[in-house]
Structure 1
C-alpha cells in the first residue's frame, strides 16, 4: 500500500481546487492507498462544520459529500494548526474525522515515503 498526501490550500477562494483535491483523495483511498488530506492556508476553513455545505462545482459531487465519502472510506484529514489558529476557527466545530496537527506530523508522514500532490 502506498502513502498519499493531498495538500489542499484552497476553500471558497478557489472552490475548483478544493473540490478536485477531494476527488483525487477519494480516488486514492478507494484504490486502497493510505491517504491523508492536509488542509492548510485557506483550506483550513474546510475543517469547519457547515463551511463546505454550499460548495458545488459543476460536473462534480457537492464538496460536503466528497468530504464525507473520504472519511467514510477510511481517509484521514489533518488540519494545519497555525493555519487554523490564524483564521480564528473553532476546534469545537471541526468536521467529523478532522484532527488539528502541526507541520511535523505531515513531515513525518512524507518521510515514510508518501507522495504528495497539492491543490
Structure 2
C-alpha cells in the first residue's frame, strides 16, 4: 500500500524545469497507484487554467498531459488566494481542477503517513 502524496508546485513558466519536475513526480505517482493530490500555487496556478500552458520543456512530457494525468487519477487544486490574485475563476479551470484553500491543504497533509513535496 502506498502513502498519500501531496505535491505542491509553486512555479510555472517562470521556472519550467522545477515546475515540470513537480508535475512529473505527481503524474508518475498516479501511474504507480498512489493517492495523489497536486496543489498549484503562485505562478503554478496558471497550470490549472485552460489555454495557459505557456511552455514546453525539451526532453520532458508536455505540461498539459501531466496535469491531465493527475486530474484523471488523483486530485488537482488551485489555491484560493492565488486564484483570486490572478483573477482565475472556476470557469477558467481545466476539467477536473478545483479551487480550494489552506484548510483543505492542511487536511490533506495531516493525513496519517502522508508525504508532502514542494517544487
Q: TM-score over 0.5 for the alignment?
A: yes
Cα deviation, residue 90, structure 1:
3.0
**1:43 corresponds to which residue?**
44
Cα RMSD after superposing both structures: 1.1
**1:118 corresponds to which residue?**
118
Please list every run of at least 4 consecutive aligned residues from structure 1 whose deviation after the TM superposition is greater than 4 angstroms.
none
Question: 3-state SS of the aligned residue for 1:51?
Answer: coil
Q: CA contact under 8 A between 2:90 and 2:98: conserved in structure 1? A: no
Structure 2, unmatched stretches of 5+, are: none
Q: CA contact under 8 A between 1:48 and 1:93: conserved in structure 2? A: yes
TM-score normalized by structure 2? 0.92
Q: CA contact under 8 A between 1:48 and 1:90: conserved in structure 2? A: no
Structure 1, unmatched stretches of 5+, are: none
Cα deviation, residue 70, structure 1:
2.1
- Whole-angstrom distance in 2 between the partners of 1:68 and 1:111: 25
- Whole-angstrom distance in 2 between the partners of 1:90 and 1:44: 11
